[in-house]
Structure 1
Amino acid sequence: MRAGPGQVLAGRYRLIERPGAPSALAVDERSGEVVRLRAWELPARLTGDQEPDGDGPVRGERLVRRVAEVGAAAPRHPRLLQGAGAFVEGDLLWTVEEGPAGRPLAEVLADGPLPPYRAAEIAADLAAALRALHDAGLAHGNLTAGSVLVCEDGAALLGGLLPGVAEEVLAEELGGPGGRRRYEVRAELVGPVAERWPLDGGPAGDCWALGVLLHRMATGRAPYPESGVPELVTAVREGRRVPSEACGPLGPLVERLVQSDPSRRPTAAEVRLELAELLAGAPEPTAGERAVPPVPEPRRPAARRGAARRGGAAKAGRPRAEEPGPARPPRIAPALLGPVLVGGVFLLLVLGVAAVVLFAG
């Protein structure tokens, strides 16, 4: 991409980094907020560069309008990144999404698979975001490790809604509403990412993708081959995948999410409840496991969890070191010690004399 730091796009988004594969952070000069921009190269027939009398600009505006409509209809939810629309500049289609600080889940997974209960925490956040979308009559369609942001407090935020819509409308504009050509264009845009190739769309397709992502988080790989789109699609259609037992305690849920019959998959709301029950019985992390960052409400903050555990250990009879208190002051002041001793001796003498007189009669 030819854009660079300092460049202003659409008259309001000032880039603060050079775009790379294919996103970049920018500052919205109207609101002062940091946003994430994603871009796609548009063929000349969509921009009108080679057809001055054609409908290129009109088709570009239609792309922007379709993406913006989804962004406007999306609900607000604390686990869902908000999309701010789209625009065409030159031969690029851009989408705009809020850009809080965090680390992409794909980058986290590059370090290796997650402990199953940490994967469950992330999936619970994603299920909450999906439920909000589904309740609003929308499907996400782009639930991947690349569209999830893991924040410093451990919360997972689901993004990628508008980029996913942009890729789908581009595939339709370039390849037609269906058929081989659309499949080829979509394969080029999406690539062999297992979560993007469910047999069905809508909310059931999102839940299938969540099952695939859960498997990826727990094992470090997708349950289907990703060497190429044809191989991936064929494996999904035939149900050839890695057994869900590899996911440990998440295996039964993954198994139900990735089954071929969409009517038998749990909904996003059901997934969230099941994960909450699983997390309620989560054991303490063992040595060698990757640390689980604290997760904000509605789950109890880490500081409180630690205090509860310490209190529970004390009740179970575990010894707990007590902090040393201040030194106690002496009962008798040093300056009075001498007179007290003399008085004591004198008192003993008086008592002795009295005893002799008494017994002598």
Structure 2
Amino acid sequence: MRAGPGQVLAGRYRLAGRPEALGAFAVDERSGDVVRLRALELPASLIGDQEPDGLGAEPGERLVRRVAAVGAAAPRHARLLQGAGAFVEGELLWTVEERPAGQPLDALLAAGPVSAYRAAEVVSDLAAALRVLHEAGLAHGNVTAGSVLVCEDGAALLGGLLPGVAEEALAEELGGPGGRRRYEVRAALVGPVAERWPLDGGPAGDCWALGVLLHRMATGRAPYPESGVPELVTAVREGRRVPSEACGPLGPLVERLVQPDPALRPTAAEVRLELADLLASAPEPVDGPRVAGPSGVPGPRATGASGRRRAKRAGAAAERSRAAAARVETVRADAARVAAAGPARPPRIPPALLGPLLVGGVFLLLVLGVAAVVLFAG
């Protein structure tokens, strides 16, 4: 990358830290927000010393307009990272996307798979984002672990929309709408990532990618070989993949999502409903709620029936704690009142004399009564 820390791109994005090969974090000097920049090398770098026919500033601006149009049309949703457009600087096409605090899912999965129920939570969030995109007439085309951001509260956000659009637009610009040349350029841009090579595009292709990602999260690997693009594409076309039984309770859903006929795949909305039912029947964790799940993925949120049971038990425990604290405060208050009253004064008549004095008083009353009778009778 021909940019360094502190450099300002497009007159507003100041690079923060050391840039990666084709990506960087930056601060938007207009809003103060942190954004994620991703770069694509323009065609002159891709094809060596050959000069592309008719390629110059105009194709670069065409790419920018295509990416910006998708970013402007994308709906807002809590689980969808918002793109802020694209620009050309030097020999690079840059896309801009918001970047809240969190960790990329592919980095978290590097340590191994996660539980089927945690995978269901993550993909449920992604399906919610895809649903609003599909309802807006858009397809994502870049549903991969590298496009997912896992936040500190465990929520998953789907990003990568504009970078995916830029890659597809550049492949078409160089290779035409179809054919061998476009395939070669796309293979160089995308690489052997199984989620990016469905047999069909559009919303059905996004749902196929969800199935592949579910398999990857639950088993630690893609269901198709990823040693190279030709091997991957051939395996997808021939249906050669790891059986979905390896995904445990997610197996039936994965099986339907990756089937060849796009008309029989569940929609994003149906995927979310099915995952909600699965999460509602999730077993109780033996060690209580986790702060971090396997591979460092932030732990499961309190969703579904198990989450409600955990919340109910936590509420009851809190109520008992409050009641015990109230009783302690009552005892303390009583002790304070006794202490404030001071030491008790001794009684004026010793307790040992009360009995004799009572008997004497009764006898005296009897004598007085007899005297009165004799006096009045005499």
Question: Is there any run of 5+ residues in structure 2 with no aligned partner, and where?
Answer: 366-378
1:182, distance to aligned residue in structure 2 (A) = 1.1
Distance 1:319 1:19, change over 3 A: closer
Select 1:339's aligned residue among 325, 335, 347.
Answer: 347
Q: Deviations over 1:92-133 (max 9, x none)?
A: 111111111110011111122112221111111100000000
Shift in alpha-carbon separation, 1:313–1:270, aligned structure 2, 3 A: farther
Q: Distance in 1 between matches of 2:52 and 2:226?
A: 41
Distance 2:343 2:287 in 1: 59
Residue by residue over 1:139-198, the C-alpha shift from the partner in whole angstroms, topping out at 9 and shown as x without a partner, is: 000000000001112111100000001111111112222111111111111111110011
Give the counterpart of 1:350 among 350, 354, 357.
Answer: 357
Comparing 343-352 with 195-204, greater Cα deviation is found at 343-352
Q: In structure 2, what is the equivalent of residue 128 of structure 1?
A: 128
**Contact 1:102/1:149, CA 8 A, preserved across alignment:** yes
**Aligned position for 1:66:** 66
Moved more, 155-164 or 240-249: 240-249
Alignment pair present for 1:293 and 2:299: yes
Aligned runs of 1:207-222 on 2, under 5 Å? 207-222=207-222
- Within 2, Cα distance between the matches of 1:264 and 1:303? 32
Distance 1:215 1:352, change over 3 A: farther
Q: Provide Cα deviations, 1:309-357, integer angstroms capped at 9, x if missing partner.
A: 2346899xx99994571345398977336328x5433323334557999
2:313 alignment partner AA:
R
Spell out structure 1 runs of 4+ moving beyond 6 A: 49-53, 302-305, 312-315, 318-321, 330-334, 354-358
Amino acid aligned to 1:165 = V
TM-score (normalised: structure 1): 0.87
Alpha-carbon distance in 2 for matches of 1:110, 1:313? 38
CA displacement, residues 275-331 of structure 1 (integer Å, 9 cap, x when unaligned) = 1122222222234975353649xx59x99875422346899xx99994571345398
Specify whether residues 348 and 282 from structure 1 end up closer, same or farther in structure 2 by C-alpha distance, changes over 3 A only.
Answer: farther
Change (3 A) 1:202 1:52: closer
2:93 corresponds to: 93
Sequence identity, in percent? 75
Aligned with 2:314 (options 270, 293, 310):
310
The count of residues paired between Structure 1 and Structure 2 equals: 354
Counterpart of 2:267?
Answer: 267
Map 1:1-361 → 2, pairs under 5 A:
1-44=1-44, 54-287=54-287, 291=293, 293=299, 295=301, 306-311=310-315, 322-323=324-325, 325=328, 326-327=331-332, 328-329=334-335, 335-336=343-344, 338-339=346-347, 342-351=349-358
Question: Which residue identity does 1:14 align to in structure 2?
Answer: R
What letter corresponds to residue 310 of structure 1 in structure 2? A
Equivalent-residue separation in structure 2 for 1:176 and 1:44 (angstroms): 16
Q: Which has the larger radius of gyration?
A: 2
The separation in 1 between residues aligned to 2:248 and 2:317, in whole angstroms, is 28
What RMSD over aligned residues (CA atoms) do the two structures have, in Å? 3.4
Aligned to 2:370: none
- Normalized per residue, which structure has more helix? 2
Amino acid paired to 1:345: A
Change (3 A) 1:52 1:241: closer
Letter in 2 for 1:111: A
| Structure 1, unaligned runs of 5 or more | none
Query: Against the structure 1 CA distance between its residues 5 and 135, is the aligned structure 2 distance closer, same or farther, given a 3 Å change threshold?
Result: same
Q: Contact conserved, 1:79 with 1:158, CA < 8 A, in 2?
A: yes
CA distance in 1, matches of 2:338, 2:358: 26
Query: Residue 94 of structure 1: SS of its match in structure 2?
Result: strand
**Alpha carbons of structure 1 residues 140 and 287: separation in structure 2 relative to 1, 3 Å:** same
CA–CA separation in structure 2 for the residues paired with 1:8 and 1:63: 21
Between the aligned partners of 1:75 and 1:154, the Cα distance in structure 2 is 23
Query: TM-score, length-normalised on structure 2?
Result: 0.83
Q: Distance in 2 between matches of 1:293 and 1:352?
A: 82
How many Å separate the matches in 2 of 1:96 and 1:305? 42
Question: What is the alpha-carbon distance in structure 2 between the residues aligned to residue 39 and residue 331 of structure 1?
Answer: 77
8 Å contact from structure 1 (residues 131, 269) kept in 2: yes
